[in-house]
């Protein structure tokens, strides 16, 4: 019996050998996108920039680029937190609410008590992290679906925000200047770039590094990919999830700081739809809603694509409603592409 | 008499009113392949889960090299040198081969990059992964940077086996390693099982496939109704007799 079944393990052959000679161009594209999910969004961004530059000469002016970057900074920062949550096969609907609550805490504490900028900022980070931690505890301890948990906390945090702020906006003039610093600009080659935009880029770089080069990053991917397999492999998945939600909370606090600088005030009504916008950026950026696949840089590109589309279409004189429609189509295309990429065969 | 590398005595595990293990024993001797066979519900899975730390038995004891141990998680069993290849393989499909080999025990770079920036030693892990796969004669396949989900079923199994063989210092447990594979791939995985044994690591092999069991096993542990019914020698017993003992149609020879 053993002789009839036995096969050799000669190089290149054998039952455990693979060959990729017989692939069609389409399959090869699928494999390329599978290995590098960011390529798709990067090409879309590049093409849309070229197209909009041809449609309007104002598109590539320093002033307009600066505007796009400012518009993208808040959602782009939120998207960093959203990405790590989605990588674990979760979703965070409460990110906008955490951001707004945190911005109100930072601004109101400073305005009411005269607390200096730095402690007010740190207090905000503490609140954001605790909000994220609460999400994480509900997901890991009560084992509730992240969608439900964050749908609930979205309302809880938003109500707390309305209560604490008494639904009143805190003006920038009542705050320490540090809280408004993210709205200050620095001149980079003729383009005025806000510190908030720069912080977003640095945050993306730092998170990309952590995801790619640390064990924590690998555990985030593995947990989202297959939680049970990760547990059997010795990964403490509950701890990974807690760290992800708490980190996301801290990132939303950073987004709150960027938001205050952007609108030069703290408004309890700001950023109402930013949770959905951040999910849009993540999805268009090639991160899979099913977890375990994607990259943080993709989310930045995704946020930029949305920003470029809205801005470019506006410059081309297209009505806001068609801008929104275009973004909707982008989302569906991005998710369809993801489904296709996931069907990659050996 | 040699001390068993791994020994279980009187393991009991109840799930509500169902008794999965009713005082099960098991002995694994150095350098052997011990096959565990049994009908559905005989307690094979529970026995293996208890030995690999995935479940905590209600009663009984587990001894590694003669010393009692208690596993409260798969990590504890791993620290004792017991590696398990689960039927589900426990791999993260979107991560590459090297990342899966080191999943849960990643190595960091030396110096500040590792201690302060927590940087992984990617190249070191890839090289080690290649070495491990080479040692098992399966690195003719691909590069260790390839995502596991692009591999075939047999190749994934090979990755899981390589991981167990690389880190198992005392025992490798394999749960139905050929269940989902075709004839050729099964053949290759059985070769892997033999190679692991030939490297000196004793193997516990759980399988439903009698020809596979009879081909590679040194001894066969027959599990029935939550207990060890018999341990038989595949060279002196026929396949049909083993199945008869397993199903209760025959009493084991004394």
Residue range B24-38: average pLDDT?
Answer: 94
The set of residues, in sequence order, having a beta carbon less than 8 Å from that of B135 and lying 6+ positions away, is: B165, B199
With beta carbons under 8 A apart, name residues in chain A contacting B150.
Answer: 31, 34, 344-346
Is pLDDT of A17 > 50?
A: no
Beta strands in chain B (DSSP E): 6-15, 18-28, 33-38, 59-64, 67-69, 82-85, 171-175, 203-206, 219-224, 227-232
Which element (helix H / strand E) includes B253?
A: none
Q: Are A119 and A102 in contact, with CB atoms under 8 Å apart?
A: no
| Residue B59, beta-bridge partner list | B12
CA angle B72–A215–A141, rounded 5-degree value:
50
B165 vs A133, higher pLDDT = A133
Given pLDDT bands bounded at 50, 70 and 90, which one contains residue B50? very high
Residue range B97-125: average pLDDT?
Answer: 86
Given pLDDT bands bounded at 50, 70 and 90, which one contains residue A22? low
Given pLDDT bands bounded at 50, 70 and 90, which one contains residue B138? low
A71 vs A79, higher pLDDT = A79
Is pLDDT of A83 > 90?
A: yes
Mean pLDDT, chain A, whole residue set:
88
Does the beta-carbon distance from A222 to B103 stay under 8 Å? yes
Q: Which two tokens stand for residue B198?
A: 């030939």
B127 vs A102, higher pLDDT = A102
pLDDT in tens, A247-265: 999 999 999 999 999 999 9
Q: In terms of C-beta density within 10 A (0-12 exposed, 13-18 middle, 19 or more buried), how is residue B117 classed? A: middle
Q: Of A15, A31, A233, which has the smallest distance from its Cβ to B188's Cβ? A: A15
B239 part of contact set with chain A, CB < 8 Å: no
Phi, psi dihedrals of residue B222, rounded to the nearest 5°: -100, 115
The set of residues, in sequence order, having a beta carbon less than 8 Å from that of A219 and lying 6+ positions away, is: A230, A235, A237, A240, B104
Chain B 193-222, CB below 8 Å of chain A: which residues?
Answer: 211, 215
What is the spatial distance between Cα A227 and Cα B91, in angstroms, rounded to a whole number? 10
Chain B 49-108, CB below 8 Å of chain A: which residues?
Answer: 54, 74-75, 78, 84, 86, 88-95, 99, 103-106, 108
B134 part of contact set with chain A, CB < 8 Å: no
Mean pLDDT, chain B, whole residue set:
88
CA angle A325–A327–A328, rounded 5-degree value:
65
Q: Give me the total of CB pairs closer than 8 Å, taking one residue from chain A and one from chain B.
A: 129
Q: Of B118, B140, B155, which has the smallest distance from its Cβ to A215's Cβ? A: B118
The pTM of the full predicted model, rounded to 2 decimals, is 0.87
What's the length of chain B? 254
pLDDT in tens, A273-284: 899 999 999 999
DSSP letter, residue A151: H
């Amino acid at each position: 019996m053993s002789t009839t079944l036995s096969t050799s393990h000669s190089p290149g052959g054998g039952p455990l050998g693979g060959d990729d000679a017989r692939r069609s161009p389409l399959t090869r594209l699928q494999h390329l996108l599978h290995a590098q999910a960011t390529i798709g969004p990067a090409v879309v961004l590049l093409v849309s920039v070229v197209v909009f530059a041809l449609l309007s000469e104002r598109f590539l002016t320093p002033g307009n680029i600066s505007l796009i970057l400012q518009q993208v900074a808040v959602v782009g920062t939120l998207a960093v937190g959203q990405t790590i949550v989605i990588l674990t096969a979760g979703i965070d609907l409460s990110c906008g609410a955490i951001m707004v609550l945190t911005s109100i805490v930072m601004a109101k504490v400073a305005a009411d008590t005269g607390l200096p900028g730095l402690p007010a900022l740190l207090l905000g980070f503490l609140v954001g992290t605790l909000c994220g931690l609460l999400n994480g505890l509900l997901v890991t301890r009560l084992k509730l679906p992240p969608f439900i948990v964050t749908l609930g906390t979205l309302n809880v945090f938003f109500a707390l925000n309305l209560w604490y702020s008494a639904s009143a906006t805190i003006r920038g003039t009542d705050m320490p200047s540090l809280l408004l610093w993210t709205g200050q600009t620095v001149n980079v080659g003729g383009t005025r770039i806000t510190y908030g935009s720069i912080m977003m880029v640095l945050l993306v770089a730092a998170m990309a590094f952590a995801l790619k080069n640390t064990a924590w990053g690998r555990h985030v991917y593995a947990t989202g990919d297959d939680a049970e397999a990760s547990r059997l492999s010795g990964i403490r998945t509950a701890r990974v999830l807690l760290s992800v939600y708490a980190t996301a909370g801290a990132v939303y606090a950073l987004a709150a700081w960027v938001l205050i600088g952007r609108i030069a005030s703290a408004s309890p009504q700001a950023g109402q739809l930013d949770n959905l916008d951040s999910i849009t950026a993540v999805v268009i950026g090639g991160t899979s809603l099913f977890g375990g696949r994607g990259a943080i840089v993709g989310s930045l590109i995704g946020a930029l694509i949305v920003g470029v589309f809205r801005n470019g279409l506006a410059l081309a004189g297209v009505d806001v409603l068609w801008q929104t429609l275009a973004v909707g189509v982008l989302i569906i295309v991005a998710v369809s592409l993801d489904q296709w990429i996931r069907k990659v065969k050996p | 008499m040699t001390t068993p590398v791994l020994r279980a005595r009187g393991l009991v595990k109840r799930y509500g009113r169902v008794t999965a293990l009713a005082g099960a024993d098991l002995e694994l001797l150095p350098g052997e392949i011990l096959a565990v066979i049994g009908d559905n519900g005989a307690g094979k899975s529970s026995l293996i889960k208890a030995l690999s730390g995935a479940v905590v038995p209600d009663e009984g004891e587990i001894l590694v090299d003669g010393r009692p141990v208690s596993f409260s998680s798969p990590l504890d069993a791993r620290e004792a040198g017991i590696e398990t290849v689960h039927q589900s393989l426990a791999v993260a499909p979107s991560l590459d081969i090297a990342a899966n080999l080191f999943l849960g025990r990643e190595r960091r770079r030396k110096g500040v990059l590792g201690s302060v920036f927590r940087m992984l030693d990617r190249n070191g892990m890839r090289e080690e992964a290649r070495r491990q796969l080479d040692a098992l004669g399966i690195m003719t396949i691909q590069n260790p940077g390839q995502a596991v989900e692009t591999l075939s079923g047999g190749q994934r199994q090979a990755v899981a086996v390589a991981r167990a063989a690389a880190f198992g210092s005392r025992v490798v447990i394999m749960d139905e390693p050929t269940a989902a594979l075709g004839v050729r791939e099964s053949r290759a995985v059985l070769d892997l099982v033999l190679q692991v044994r030939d490297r000196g690591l004793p193997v516990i092999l759980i399988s439903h496939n009698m020809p596979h069991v009879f081909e590679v096993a040194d001894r066969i542990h027959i599990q029935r109704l939550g207990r060890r019914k018999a341990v038989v020698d595949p060279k002196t017993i026929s396949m049909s007799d083993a199945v008869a003992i397993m199903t209760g149609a025959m009493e084991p020879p004394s």
